[in-house]
Structure 1
Amino acid sequence: MTIIGPQARAARALVRWPRDHVARAAGLDEEVLLAFETGGTDLDPDARHRLRLALEAGGAVFLPENRDGGMGVRLKFTTKDVRAIDRMENEGGAYGSDDV
């Protein structure tokens, strides 16, 4: 499934990741991602695929256009799940290097 810029921007907002994090995860320049999200440029198929995979790793689910409605994006997790994940990510205190 091909994603469009506004859909990527919506997915990024849903997963609550900053643009620089998504750009790094997708192997894109942050300015290129901004331009794509705002309709200023297009991405090649490989870059779109990497962007989609990065956003899906954060919990975004891309919805294709069908007879019931237009394309969209939603969260893989419920609001309750997201709160639990956020709580778990903040447990354990400070982290350090691991010599293993």
Structure 2
Amino acid sequence: MARAALRWSLQDLAEAAKVHRNTITNFENERYAGSPDVLEAIQTALEAAGVEFIAENGGGAGVRLRKVEKAS
């Protein structure tokens, strides 16, 4: 969901996280759970692009884009 919200391709996320695009594909298709360092790299790249991760709160975990502050 985070990648879609940013309108990023697999290649965009792979480059931002410095991982192979097959790693992203396998993670998204649940064929690879991800090592801690790869998961951290992916999360860091997404957060740097403006994604906020929302913890489980009874309605399920999720993501949203950070609000952009308007210049006054």
Instruction: Normalising by structure 2, report the TM-score.
Output: 0.86
Gaps of 5+ in 2: none
1-structure distance, mates of 2:64, 2:22:
25
Specify the code of the residue in structure 1 equivalent to 2:62: G
* Structure of larger gyration radius: 1
The DSSP-based 3-state class of the residue aligned with 2:63 is strand
Residue in structure 2 matching 1:23, options 11, 14, 18: 14
Aligned to 2:35: 44
Aligned length: 69
CA distance in 2 between counterparts of 1:51 and 1:21 reads 11
Deviation at 1:59, TM superposition (A): 1.1
Letter in 2 for 1:60: V
Alignment of 1:1-100 (within 5 A): 10-67=1-58, 69-77=59-67, 81=68
**Equivalent position SS for 1:74:** strand
Deviations 1:23-71 (CA, angstroms, capped at 9, x unpaired): 111111101110101111111111101100101111111001024x210
Aligned to 2:5, the other structure's residue is in SS state: helix
Aligned with 1:61: secondary structure?
Answer: strand
Cα RMSD (Å): 1.5
